[in-house]
């Protein structure tokens, strides 16, 4: 079992927690098989607020991936297209069951000093 920590903007964290955003898009993904994502909500929250099960990882050409996932993307197509404008391959973590923490956790709880730009493994 492998977990990663992802830094996510508060507006997208909210969409995940509401169940509207069922895919987390990335330009690169973990090399290990990821079972769980811990969600670090960026500024101004700056805490780990939830964890979510990873059902699958999808990779495809950006336009095709958008067509497959747009109904539960939780983002606008303009943002998506800009995010993947330089990429030939787009990735999406398909999100499953969400566990929102009653008390958000500091990075230091996991021995982490700084929020990752992309992701970090938690073992």
Give yes or no for a cis peptide into 81 (omega within 30° of 0): no
pLDDT of residue 118: 87
- pLDDT at position 123 over 80: no
pTM for this prediction: 0.94
pLDDT of residue 75: 96
pLDDT of residue 98: 98
Which domains can be identified in the chain, with CATH numbers?
A: 3-122 (2.30.130.30)
Which residues does residue 100 pair with via DSSP β-bridges, in sequence order? Answer: 50
- pLDDT at position 1 over 90: no
Q: What are the pLDDT digits (tens) for 63-117?
A: 999 999 999 999 999 999 999 999 999 999 999 999 999 999 999 999 999 999 8
Separation of alpha carbons 115 and 83, rounded Å: 20
Q: What are the pLDDT digits (tens) for 4-37?
A: 999 999 999 999 999 999 999 999 999 999 999 9
Separation of alpha carbons 104 and 40, rounded Å: 9
Is the dihedral angle over the CA atoms 27, 59, 61, 80 positive or is it negative? negative
pLDDT of residue 81: 97
94: helix, strand or coil? strand
């Amino acid at each position: 079992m492998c977990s990663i920590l992802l830094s996510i903007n508060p507006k997208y964290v909210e969409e995940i927690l509401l169940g509207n955003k069922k895919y987390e898009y990335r330009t690169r993904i973990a090399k290990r098989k990821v079972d769980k994502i811990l969600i670090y909500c960026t500024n101004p929250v700056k805490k780990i607020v939830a964890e979510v099960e990873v059902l699958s990882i999808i990779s495809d050409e950006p336009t095709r991936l958008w067509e497959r996932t747009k109904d539960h993307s939780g983002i606008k197509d303009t943002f998506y297209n800009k995010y993947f404008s330089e990429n030939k391959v787009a990735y999406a973590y398909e999100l499953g069951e969400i566990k929102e923490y009653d008390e958000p956790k500091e990075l230091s709880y996991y021995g982490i000093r700084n929020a990752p730009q992309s992701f970090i493994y938690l073992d």
